[in-house]
Amino acid sequence: METFAMGLRKSYGIKVKVLYMDTSSLASVRAGVDECLKMIDNGEIDALHAIICNAGVRLNGEVSYTEDGYETTYATNYLGHVLLVELLLDTVAENGRIVFTTSGTHDPDTADGKMMGIADKETAIELAHMGKDNTKPISLGKMYATSKLDMIQYAYELDRRLKKMGIRLSSIAYDPGATSGTGFLRNMPKAVRWLAGTSLMHWVMKRSGVTMGDVVFSGKSLARVAVDPSFANGSGKYFQSNDGKLNQRRSSKLSYDKQRGEKLWHDTKTLIHLQPNETSIKLG
């Protein structure tokens, strides 16, 4: 990460500060946030203009758990990012944006969803403890898809609550598409990683209707969603990068279930142990 930051400094003459945190660890997220808050308090940086939550991980093998006792995929892809947002929300400048990097795999009615496995409908608390107490865990592919479903639902619920409170911040869901060359499949077998990067696999996936991303285009699209004025009214919406085009799309039917979204909101607050004194924005 520091090497990448050095490249940005050299190429664009800008200041880049790297803060390290592990989103699978609630303590690590809190430590990283503390560093960021100190920088704001000391005047090293201004209020944040955007928070961009990254894509997360797709694990392989047996189910595993974090130091907090939560299923690793769910904690890394969803819980850690929500905690990050909650702790930094009141530092975001007016009209700033929170962008959640999601995935079309959350939607069982698409080729993306069929490829990964149907997202599970369990509650956040059940998902976080999946496989414990002799319960059968869902596949890690399904857990990945479900973590993305919950991230989208959280983005929508955050949007509703911000609007209800009259807070001028945007909460946006963004799908970069299936993108090779990002390290996303680093935990998969070597043969799978190699095949995923071939032109043949790209052709097969595209022909199958899978949402296809590109490192450069999807990255630029993510930046546009985060700062471009043309996305100023993007809160509560789902944008997708597919085959060189960035468009607003409908996410899955389940993602618009407001009752599930509200329960997800409260269950998530319980799981991340958010304390009343950790944020001045009270969204319930």
pLDDT in the model for residue 168: 96
Q: d(Cα 220, Cα 159) in Å, to the nearest integer?
A: 23
Q: d(Cα 56, Cα 139) in Å, to the nearest integer?
A: 17
Is residue 255's pLDDT more than 80? yes
Is residue 59's pLDDT more than 90? no
Q: What are phi and psi of 79, to 5 degrees?
A: -60, -45
Q: d(Cα 148, Cα 155) in Å, to the nearest integer?
A: 11
Q: d(Cα 108, Cα 146) in Å, to the nearest integer?
A: 10
pLDDT in the model for residue 84: 98
Matching residue, tokens 């509560």: 236
Is residue 117's pLDDT more than 90? no
Is residue 195's pLDDT more than 60? no
pLDDT in the model for residue 273: 96
The angle formed by the CA atoms of residues 82, 188 and 111, to the nearest 5 degrees, is 70
List, for residues 199-234, the tens digit of each pLDDT value. Answer: 655 545 655 656 767 888 999 999 999 999 999 999
Over residues 112-119, mean pLDDT: 77
Q: In the chain, what are the domains? A: 51-278 (3.40.50.720)
pLDDT in the model for residue 133: 80
Over residues 276-284, mean pLDDT: 82
212 touches 178 (CB < 8 A): yes
DSSP string across 105-119: GG-TTSHHHHHH-PP
Is the full-model pTM beyond 0.85? yes
Is residue 35's pLDDT more than 60? yes
Over residues 15-20, mean pLDDT: 91
pLDDT in the model for residue 71: 96
Specify the length of the chain in residues: 284
pLDDT in the model for residue 228: 97
pLDDT in the model for residue 136: 82
Confidence tier at 279 by pLDDT (50, 70, 90): confident
Count of CB atoms within 10 A of residue 173's CB? 29
pLDDT in the model for residue 266: 96
User: What is the percentage of the chain residues whose pLDDT exceeds 90?
Assistant: 63
113 touches 106 (CB < 8 A): yes
Integer CA distances (angstroms), 251 to 87, 124, 229, in order: 27, 19, 23
Strands 170-175, 238-242: pairing is: parallel
Over residues 50-78, mean pLDDT: 92
| 3-class DSSP assignment, residue 34 | helix
106 touches 63 (CB < 8 A): no
70 touches 129 (CB < 8 A): yes
pLDDT in the model for residue 282: 79
Side-chain-side CA neighbours of 171 within 13 Å: the count stands at 19
Q: d(Cα 208, Cα 223) in Å, to the nearest integer?
A: 28
Measuring CA to CA, which residue among 128, 30, 122, 115 is closest to residue 77? 128
Is residue 284's pLDDT more than 90? no
pLDDT in the model for residue 1: 81
pLDDT in the model for residue 186: 54
pLDDT in the model for residue 138: 86
Is residue 68's pLDDT more than 70? yes
Positions of E strands within 10-61? 48-53
Task: List the single range of 12-16, 49-53, 132-136, 179-183 with lowest mean pLDDT.
Answer: 179-183
pLDDT in the model for residue 209: 59
CA dihedral (125, 184, 154, 270) in degrees, to 10, reads 30
